[in-house]
Amino acid sequence: MSEQNWLELGDKYVMNTYKRFPVTIESADGCYVTDTNGKKYLDFVSGIAVNTLGYNNKDFISNLTDQIGKLIHISNLYWNKPQIELAKCLVENSIFDKVFFCNSGAEAIEGILKLCRKYGKKFKGDDCFEIITIKQSFHGRTYGAITATGQDKYQEGLIPLLPGIKYAEFNDIESLKAQMSDNTCGIILEPIQGEGGIRPVSKEYLQEVRKICDENNIVLAYDEVQCGMGRTGYLFAYEYYDVAPDVIALAKGLGGGCPIGAILAIENVARAFQPGDHASTFGGNALACSAGLTVLDFLLNKNILKSTWEIGEYLSECLQNLKKEKKCIKDIRGVGLMQGIEIDKPAADVILECLNNGLLLVGAGSNVIRFVPPLIISKEEVDKAIAILKETL
């Protein structure tokens, strides 16, 4: 079947919720994907920061194949070994004590919204239900997560939103304080805003937020759905800042392509949940957790974190050099292999032309191009991507 036929079938049968590029990806290997016409693309999107180990990783395939032969799903009425092992690995390599598994980043945020409110009502009072998030943030597409998202464009047509959510300015501690009240139970933020334009918060800001939460018994939650799981060169983004939250949301890169989400919490906050307070039918199923264990093995034991930091520094240097040549580039920002360039023209136009030239990129707002390749990317592949981008610009 031709590429055009696949596109026509997709338009006919799939609900129109994405503005998709006119390509159908059929296979992939390493950091390259191939469409139904046989054209190869260097992938600097990696499923939007999902495919941590790239494509066709032999260990990943072997471990999942082995798990499929044993058990895929049994429900959380019973224990399964990969879930216990993954929870143990996450806890022993973090400052957290307990893990809840779900299926996506949006679900993890939904769980955190509930956990913050449960905590506030149990340990501060019945009226303690307000949660503060940050403008230009993005937390997911479900109803609570879209309310927590600090961007009006994602909320159009959905009013009224979930009550009790307030928004503070990015990186502005006084704005945060102005939104606080005795009824504040939680603060949720992205250490590095992804969809909001690849904007890292400052360490000093996080330190102040941490202090405020400690002084007022407020739950501090980080959304590390995109910036966690090695993308900064650290296993968790909070380690890059050396400012720990009480709770984090994980997803995307944790499963390396398999749907999985997780909430990690310190014991004092995790105890706000009791049996029956929260659940997920597919959360923590054996197959997804086997994928997570494989990803963590590579991150912790096979020098992926060190490589991510080094290649991230190299990518940043290359982008800075490109900025000197191209006046349309206004800013370079990001950490590790989560980088972005702000340009003085629509990012979508450049991204589409790069696609035509064999490079997959993704936007982060109207005029920011995002670089979130697989964490196995090489310097040679960075050079190739920069060369295509340079030619395109």
pLDDT digits (tens, 9 = 90+) for 197-243: 999 999 999 999 999 999 999 999 999 999 999 999 999 999 999 99
Percent of the chain residues topping a pLDDT of 70: 100
Q: Which residues of 198-213 are buried (b: 16+ CB within 10 A; e: fewer)?
A: bbbbeeebbebbbebb
Ordered by where they begin, the domains of the chain are: 3-56+304-392 (3.90.1150.10), 60-301 (3.40.640.10)
Closest among 380, 91, 375 to 257, alpha carbons compared = 375
CB contact set of 390 (below 8 Å; sequence gap of 6+): 322, 325, 326
Q: Are 295 and 302 in contact (CB under 8 A)?
A: no
Would you state the pLDDT for residue 167? Answer: 98
Q: What is the pLDDT of residue 218?
A: 98
Q: What is the mean pLDDT of residues 149-153?
A: 96
State how far the Cα of 254 lies from the Cα of 73, in Å rounded to an integer.
18
pTM: 0.96
H or E stretch including 316? helix 304-325
For the chain, give the number of residues: 393
Strand residues in the chain grouped as ranges (E): 25-29, 32-35, 40-43, 98-102, 130-134, 165-168, 184-189, 192-193, 199-200, 219-223, 247-250, 261-265, 329-335, 338-343, 359-360, 362-363, 368-371
pLDDT-derived band at 3, boundaries 50, 70, 90: confident
Mean of per-residue pLDDT scores for the chain = 97
CA angle (366 as vertex; 360, 369 as ends), nearest 5: 35
Residue 123 pLDDT greater than 90, yes or no: yes
Q: What is the pLDDT of residue 4?
A: 87
As to burial, measured by CB atoms within 10 angstroms (0-12 exposed, 13-18 middle, 19+ buried), residue 92 is exposed
Q: Token match 């999985």: residue?
A: 260
